[in-house]
Structure 1
């Protein structure tokens, strides 16, 4: 059965230059209107940097848990893939991740008061430091520090196929089952409209397993804007 790491490897073998995530920020705020596109190679670079941070800085591996307190976003995707690269369990939604080994969040207060280690994520694409990180903060300022980690990653240990990969909405998926074969056509381009982060992550894995890509929209679109996006982005499936 494919795993998240094997899916990423297949993307790089197939066509590393092809876009694999296209993200639109449509929520009100300073970043509204951002469009970010990541090729397979660029996605892998982000994943590898984050995985190196998890393994080297936080000493995480199989059996560890990483709680993602993040919205459906391109940054959420590479943090999930990084956690899977080290063999950790990704926890999204609810309160069942309160005892996680690491909290990855865009909420400065949550990062500051986390009971354990934390990473503070700044969602803006061009951020070079978090505007909310205090000088004496213990949480990693992702925008400032992640770029210092290497672009290549080698896992020290591999998770078992039956080890938990994702806990979301009270359900759990093992490493051997988290990549679902949904019968999608090869090269599918899936439009994901926000919603539950767990749903976004599993749909992205399924699309990449079919040598496809995802267009992720955060925020509400009216019918006209949605139709325009479907047409301009070559979307073949709404999920």
Structure 2
């Protein structure tokens, strides 16, 4: 098996300049934003976030990180990969107790129950969260850039360790790439699921297949959406996990 960090490293070594993620925000608040990041740039985002978790927030294998970000979204993807790079457990279930919360709402009741909170601004060019944050909350947009571009984990993770808590189910690292469908090798793949647990596994699967993902937030594009042709999309991932 391959751990997620190795999947991303291998994809970067094969072609560092190829897009890893192309993100369209079709929601009213997104203002039609389009962001494209290469595999090299994605790996840098993941490394910085992983260093913030490990060095700044004491996350290690056995820690639980709740990532409460919209799906599909490119920031959800790199935070998931960062949690897995450290070897911790990612949860998208709010009922699961967490050591760290990564969220767009750092003043929620959920945030008050977490020891550590990371406030995330979704806009691609954000340089700060925008609102005054309470003491102890990390402002991702303002602080993440200070962390190193390379990541070395301090502890080892085992294949049987829990990688993901999703819908009440616990998924081991060894099983992350299973049971989420099939992606053709090298395919430019559309992902539109609003299920964050499925989204992060689909992104990992696309990278493992040496492909690249097009994420569209908002209404799923129809078969005649011109963007699908311009982006070279040849495959669609399912919006729900098949039983």
**Fold shared per TM-score above 0.5:** yes
1:19-98 paired onto structure 2 within 5 Å = 19-29=19-29, 31-72=30-71, 73-96=73-96
Post-superposition Cα deviations, 1:114-147, rounded to whole Å, max 9, x if no partner, equal: 431100000011110111233x432100010000
**Per-residue displacement from partner, 1:76-120 (whole Å, max 9, x unpaired)?**
111111100110000003412xx2110000113227624311000
CA contact (8 A) 2:65 2:99 kept: yes
Map of 2:218 onto structure 1: 219
Q: How does 1:1-20 map to 2 (within 5 A)?
A: 1-20=1-20
For 2:221 and 2:36, locate their aligned partners in 1 and report how far apart those are by CA, in whole Å. 22
Cα distance per residue 1:192-236 (max 9 Å; x no partner)? 113101111111111111100110111014637x62121111111
Match of 1:146, SS state, is helix
Flag structure 2 segments of 5+ consecutive residues without an equivalent. 238-243
- Asked whether the equivalents of residues 190 and 214 of structure 1 are also in contact (C-alpha less than 8 Å), the reply is yes
Measure, in 1, the Cα distance between the counterparts of 2:207 and 2:182: 12
Contact kept in structure 2, 1:105 and 1:119, CA below 8 Å? yes
Q: Give the distance between the partners of 2:65 and 2:128, measured in 1 at CA.
A: 22
Query: How far apart in 1 are the matches of 2:114 and 2:94?
Result: 17
The C-alpha deviation readout for 1:164-214, integer Å capped at 9, x for no partner, is 001111122111111238443210111011310111111111111110011
Residue aligning to 1:237: 235
CA-based RMSD: 1.6
Match of 2:99 in 1: 101
User: 5+ unaligned residues in a row in structure 1: which ranges?
Assistant: none
What CA distance in whole angstroms lies between the structure 2 residues aligned with 1:221 and 1:179? 24
Q: Deviations over 1:9-33 (max 9, x none)?
A: 111111010001000111111x321
Correspondence list, 1:126-205, <5 A:
126-134=125-133, 136-180=134-178, 182-205=181-204
Q: Deviations over 1:36-84 (max 9, x none)?
A: 1110000000000000011101111111110011112101111111100
TM-score by length of 1: 0.93
Tell me, in whole angstroms, the C-alpha distance in 1 between the residues paired with 2:182 and 2:146: 39
CA pair 183-70 structure 1, distance change in 2 beyond 3 A:
closer
